[in-house]
């Protein structure tokens, strides 16, 4: 009954549209990756993925994290005019900051002596995606602030469709170069198509009253938190490449992690639907308690289902990607277990910490996790290969999730005692 009511509330906020959009986005992302591995030689694809994983943990920091400030502080505003004015401010400031970050990244990419040939060139070109991706993110956030989750979901569907089509075509004709181009132009085309649907005049004249040091600090810590969170996901790949010096192992680890990590679309889907709603009601302790209890009940059941399935059908699942990956089935199972910690704990409590304005706690927890990650991988990867990286990742998924829950409960009781 508890889970049923939770799902009904989710659906009442157009959660069904977001579910379909997120599902198809994950599916098309998987297809894009599958097309890439079919048409791009493993060695060259490994170098591109090595460069792209550097970009992945920079993407959330584009615009200095102002898109995250937009959603939290925008949810606190009452009128559409105030929200539109805030969007205009974030768009202009974030666009300029993103250009600066891209420029610095290009200089670094061209000057740094990377281990793999052409890594710097791929990194320089892939950094261009930071600008259109930032614009696409704030467009999606503005739709959420307008309680228009349908249009928010359409942006995801359109982007993922464009991505898989261009990866298929460009990778087939131009191999790794086409794959790089597809990654860049997909968010660019999406932003151009949906920006006009916002119907926002960017020529604001009055600085939004909600803008202060806390607004910028929240965005900055959100960016840092996203960077270190993504680093936790990609540092394994970076260290595998550095310690084992084999691009094919980089590719193998990337692809055995695709399916377990893709399941994370489920908590992200619920948070995308509900973040604005529970931020508006964050001071209502009964509401937050019931929401937390319902979420954890649902995702405990989901975790048990997925882990049981992957435990018994690991080899069959991996064979759908590539027969050569079957020998890594134990690493696949380990990663699947780790993902359960994100499903049950981190997906919820990390967002609740953000909702109460304590985003920096997520940053501190993830920063500690990175230190553990590096130390553990330096020891485990040379001994166990990519299984060592899987063990570290699984442990840290549970570690960060449980500590997020502990900190939220402590801070929430302290700051919302009445």
- When pLDDT is averaged across residues 327-339 and rounded to a whole number, the result is 89
Which class for 204: exposed (0-12), middle (13-18), buried (19 or more C-beta within 10 A)?
middle
> What is residue 306's predicted lDDT score, i.e. its pLDDT?
92
382 pLDDT band (50/70/90 cuts)?
confident
Indicate if 73 and 204 belong to the same structural domain. Answer: yes
Q: Are both 58 and 147 inside the same structural domain?
A: yes
User: According to the model, what pLDDT value does residue 395 have?
Assistant: 93
CB 391 within 8 A of CB 334: yes
Same-domain pairing of 78 and 187: yes
Together in a domain, 193 and 260: no
Q: How confident is the model at residue 270 (pLDDT cuts 50, 70, 90)?
A: confident
Of the chain, the percentage scoring pLDDT greater than 90 comes to 20
Task: State percent of the chain over pLDDT 70.
Answer: 98
- In this structure, the answer to whether residues 269 and 400 fall within a common structural domain is yes
* Mean pLDDT within 36-59: 78
- Domain boundary pick from 186, 211, 236: 211
Same domain, 207 and 271: no
What's the confidence (pLDDT) of residue 397?
A: 92
Lowest mean pLDDT among 14-23, 79-88, 167-176, 400-409: 14-23
Give the confidence band of 403 by pLDDT, cuts at 50, 70, 90: very high
Does one domain contain both 84 and 185?
Answer: yes
For residue 243, tell me if it sits in a domain.
no
User: With 60 as the cut, is the pLDDT of residue 361 above it?
Assistant: yes
Give the mean pLDDT of the chain.
84
Out of 211, 229, 261, pick the residue that ends a domain: 211
pLDDT exceeds cutoff 60 at 373: yes
Q: Is 255 contained in some domain?
A: yes
How many other β-carbons are positioned within 10 Å of the β-carbon of residue 22? 22
pLDDT at 301: 93
Last residue of a domain, one of 163, 183, 211: 211
Indicate if the pLDDT at residue 199 is higher than 80. no
pLDDT of 32: 81
Containing structural domain, residue 394:
248-418
Residue 273: inside a domain? yes
Identify the pLDDT of residue 417.
53
For helices 347-355 and 66-76, angle between their N-to-C axes, nearest 10 degrees: 70
176 with 292, same domain: the answer is: no
Q: Which residues of 181-197 are buried (b: 16+ CB within 10 A; e: fewer)?
A: bbbbbbbbbbbebbbee
Instruction: Examine the domain organization and report whether 256 and 375 are in the same domain.
Output: yes
Give me the torsion for CA of 187, 192, 197, 201, rounded to 10°: 120
Would residue 1 count as lying in a domain? no
Q: Which of 43-47, 251-255, 265-269, 388-392 bottoms out in mean pLDDT, i.e. has the lowest?
A: 43-47
204 — pLDDT class (breaks 50, 70, 90):
low
> Dihedral through CA 206, CA 212, CA 216, CA 218, nearest 10?
-130
The predicted-structure confidence for 304-319, as pLDDT tens digits, reads as follows 999 999 999 888 888 8
**Alpha carbon distance 112, 213 (integer Å):** 35
Report pLDDT digits (tens) over 141-191.
888 888 788 888 888 889 888 988 988 888 778 777 888 888 889 899 999
pLDDT confidence of residue 402: 94
Give the residue-averaged pLDDT of 278-297: 86
Q: Is residue 238 part of a domain?
A: no
Mean pLDDT of the 323-339 span: 87
| Residue 229 in domain | no
75 and 179, same structural domain? yes
Q: Which residues of 393-404 are buried (b: 16+ CB within 10 A; e: fewer)?
A: bbbbbbbbbbbb
Residues 204 and 265 grouped into a single domain: no
Residue 92 has pLDDT above 80, yes or no: yes
Q: How many domains does the chain have?
A: 2
CB 338 within 8 A of CB 397: yes
Question: Which stretch, 6-10, 60-64, 202-206, 388-392, has highest mean pLDDT?
Answer: 388-392
**What is the distance between the alpha carbons of residues 51 and 135, in angstroms, rounded to a whole number?**
22
User: Quick one: 183 and 274 in the same domain?
Assistant: no
| pLDDT higher than threshold 90 for residue 256 | no
* 3-class secondary structure per residue, the chain: CHHHHHHHHHHHCCHHHHHHHHHHHHHHHHHHHHHHHHHCCHHHHHHHHHHHHHHHCCHHHHHHHHHHHHHHHHHHCCCHHHHHHHHHHHHHHHHHHHHHHHHHHHHHHHHCCCCCCCHHHHHHHHHHHHHHHHHHHHHHHHHHHCCCHHHHHHHHHHHHHHHHHHHHHHHHHHHHHHHHHHHHHHHHHHHHHHHHHHCCCCCCCCCCCCCCHHHHHHHHHHHHHHHHHHHHHHHHHHHHHHHHCCHHHHHHHHHHCHHHHHCCHHHHHHHHHHHHHHHHCCCCHHHHHHHHHHHHHHHHHHHHHHHHHHHHCHHHHHHCCCHHHHHHHHHHHHHHHHHHHHHHHHHHHHHHHHHCCCHHHHHHHHHHHHHHHHHHHHHHHHHHCHHHHHHHHHHHHHHHHHHHHHHHHHHHHHHCCC
Closest CA to 241 of 135, 143, 327, 114: 114
- Domain assignment present for residue 348? The answer is yes
Report the pLDDT value the prediction gives residue 418, as an integer from 0 to 100: 55
> Between the CA of residue 267 and those of 2, 42, 77, what are the distances in Å?
17, 32, 26
Q: Is 216 part of any domain? A: no
């Amino acid at each position: 009954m508890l889970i049923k009511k939770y799902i009904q509330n989710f659906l009442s906020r157009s959660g069904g549209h977001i579910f379909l959009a997120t599902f198809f986005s994950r599916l098309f992302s998987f297809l894009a990756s599958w097309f890439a591995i079919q048409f791009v030689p493993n060695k060259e694809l490994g170098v591109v993925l090595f460069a792209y994983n550097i970009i992945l943990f920079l993407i959330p920091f584009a615009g200095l994290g102002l898109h995250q400030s937009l959603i939290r502080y925008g949810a606190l505003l009452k009128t559409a005019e105030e929200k539109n004015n805030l969007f205009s401010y974030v768009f202009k400031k974030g666009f300029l900051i993103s250009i600066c970050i891209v420029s610095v990244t290009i200089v670094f990419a061209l000057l740094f002596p990377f281990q793999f040939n052409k890594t710097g060139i791929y990194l320089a070109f892939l950094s261009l995606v930071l600008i259109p991706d930032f614009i696409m993110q704030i467009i999606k956030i503005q739709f959420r602030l307008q309680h228009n989750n349908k249009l928010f979901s359409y942006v995801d569907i359109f982007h993922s469709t464009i991505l898989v089509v261009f990866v298929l075509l460009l990778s087939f004709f131009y191999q790794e170069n086409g794959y790089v181009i597809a990654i860049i132009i997909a968010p660019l085309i999406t932003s151009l198509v949906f920006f006009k649907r916002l119907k926002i005049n960017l020529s604001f004249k009055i600085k939004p009253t909600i803008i202060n040091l806390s607004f910028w600090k929240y965005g900055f810590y959100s960016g840092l938190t996203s960077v270190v969170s993504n680093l936790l996901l990609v540092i394994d790949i970076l260290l595998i490449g550095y310690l084992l010096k084999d691009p094919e192992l980089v590719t193998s680890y990337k692809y055995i992690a695709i399916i377990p990590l893709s399941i994370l679309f489920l908590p992200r889907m619920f948070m995308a639907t509900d973040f604005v709603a529970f931020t508006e009601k964050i001071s209502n302790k009964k509401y937050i308690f019931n929401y937390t209890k319902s979420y954890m009940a649902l995702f405990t059941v989901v975790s048990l289902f997925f882990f049981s399935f992957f435990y018994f059908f690991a080899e069959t699942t991996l064979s759908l990607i590539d027969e050569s990956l079957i020998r890594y089935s134990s690493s696949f199972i380990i990663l699947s277990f780790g993902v359960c910690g994100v499903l049950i704990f981190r997906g919820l409590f990390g967002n609740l910490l953000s909702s109460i304005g304590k985003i920096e706690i997520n940053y501190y927890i993830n920063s500690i996790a990175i230190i553990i990650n590096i130390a553990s991988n330096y020891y485990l990867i040379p001994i166990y290969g990519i299984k060592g990286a899987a063990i570290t990742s699984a442990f840290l998924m549970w570690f960060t999730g449980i500590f997020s829950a502990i900190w939220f409960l402590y801070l929430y009781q302290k700051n919302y005692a009445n």
